[in-house]
Amino acid sequence: MRPKVIVTAYAHPLLRERLESYGFEVHEEYTIDYAGLMDIIGEYKGMIVTTRLKIDKAILDKAKLLKWIGRLGSGMELIDVDYASSLGVKCVASPEGNRDAVAEHALGILLSLMHKISLSNEQVKKFVWLRDENRGTELKGKTIGIIGYGNTGSRFAQLLSVFDVSILVYDKYKTGFSQGCVQESTLEEIVNQADVISFHVPLTAETHYFANQYFFRNCKKAPYFLNLSRGKVVNTIDLIEALDNGLICAAGLDVLENENVKSYGGEELSMLTNLTERPNVIITPHIGGYSHEALEKMANVVLEKLELPPRH
């Protein structure tokens, strides 16, 4: 009998092809929920996941045959990695696979905000032709603050470097990376000097609501604000207040605190409506790292890190 692998979200076809070539029986369960996974996880030796399902102690305790978990993308906050490791389950992620896509998406959102591309396009669709009102702001000469200098933060800095900008980077866990237009910096320097602030951090206890009322009120230059990391890095209520009070001039978000928008009601619905009705806000549905190329690269990276074959 072949060992089984469950794939819980859409992946590039090569993932299935390669796993089958290694001797695995692959089950693609793209719509399975937590309860459904709990019922069947005991059958599987391997698991491929994204951000949709929480792999906690209860799931892992039922996964008696599980030897490895492959995460398509970056961020392991939904996986209890410490407990999995204690059970001998290898856990790997693939941030190298989608860093280019996230960095390009961040740049696209930023340029669209600064040059009012999305806004003016929507106006023209309604036969409204406004030039002075949609005058753009150039990126050249600006100071960019990047918080988090991992795979996506560093690649975003690389893309920005051709625009003749100054890049200030704060990363609590990295030092010695200043080079060219990239300058290792402090959080205080970023909020004081940056015309643009972009978040590229994992979601941890330290980064939860990192961008809060205190953070926004310390921004001195009313920067463009970007978040392409995790929704709960930003306190949405405080973000709206910052926009209301001109503490930031615009916001570009690829993530939300709760991305199941069909479940919204009450305050959540009110906040999302508030943001979507603003001309200086762009929200995309967590697609920054979801390019066609990224899907293939993430699959390759996961397989390489899992070292399959020969160790099943």
What confidence tens digit (pLDDT) does each residue in 179-197 have? 999 999 999 999 999 999 9
Residues 11 and 89 in one domain: yes
User: Looking at 93, 110, 131, which one is the last position of a domain?
Assistant: 93
Model confidence at 309, in pLDDT bands (50, 70, 90)? confident
Annotate 34-59 with b (16+ C-beta within 10 A) or e (fewer): eeebeeebeebbbbbbbbebebeeeb
Residues 37 and 131 in one domain: no
User: Looking at 34, 63, 93, which one is the last position of a domain?
Assistant: 93
Residues 130 and 183 in one domain: yes
Transcribe 216-274 into DSSP letters: HHT-SS--EEEE-S-GGGB-HHHHHHHHHTTSSSEEEES--S---GGG--HHHHHHHHH
pLDDT of 75 reads: 86
Tell me the CATH number at 84: 3.40.50.720
Residues 11 and 147 in one domain: no
Interval 288-309 mean pLDDT: 94
Residue 1: is its pLDDT beyond 90?
A: no
Residue 301 lies in a domain: no
Residue 304 lies in a domain: no
- pTM score: 0.92
Residue 312: is its pLDDT beyond 50?
A: no
Residues 129 and 72 in one domain: no
Side-chain-facing half-sphere of 240: CA atoms under 13 Å = 14
Residues 58 and 105 in one domain: no
pLDDT of 156 reads: 98
Residues 47 and 119 in one domain: no
Structure token digits, residue 185: 């910096």
Q: What is the mean pLDDT of the chain?
A: 96
Residue 310: is its pLDDT beyond 60?
A: no
Interval 72-95 mean pLDDT: 94
**What residue numbers bound the domain in which 43 lies?**
4-93
Residues 70 and 107 in one domain: no
Interval 196-207 mean pLDDT: 96
Please tell me the distance from the alpha carbon of residue 150 to that of residue 153, in angstroms, as a whole number.
5
Residues 61 and 112 in one domain: no
CB-based burial of residue 184 (10 Å sphere; 0-12 exposed, 13-18 middle, 19+ buried)? middle
Least confident of 73-77, 124-128, 236-240: 73-77
Torsion of CA 136, 140, 142, 145, to 10 degrees: 100
Residue 306 lies in a domain: no
Q: What angle do helix axes 95-114 and 292-306 make, rounded to 10 degrees?
A: 150
Residue 296 lies in a domain: no
pLDDT of 92 reads: 96
Residue 311: is its pLDDT beyond 90?
A: no
Residues 46 and 116 in one domain: no
User: Looking at 54, 76, 93, which one is the last position of a domain?
Assistant: 93
Residue 17 lies in a domain: yes
Residues 163 and 45 in one domain: no
Residues 240 and 105 in one domain: yes
CB distance 164 to 196 below 8 Å: no
Interval 275-285 mean pLDDT: 98
Please tell me the distance from the alpha carbon of residue 238 to that of residue 210, in angstroms, as a whole number.
11
What's the domain count of the chain?
A: 2
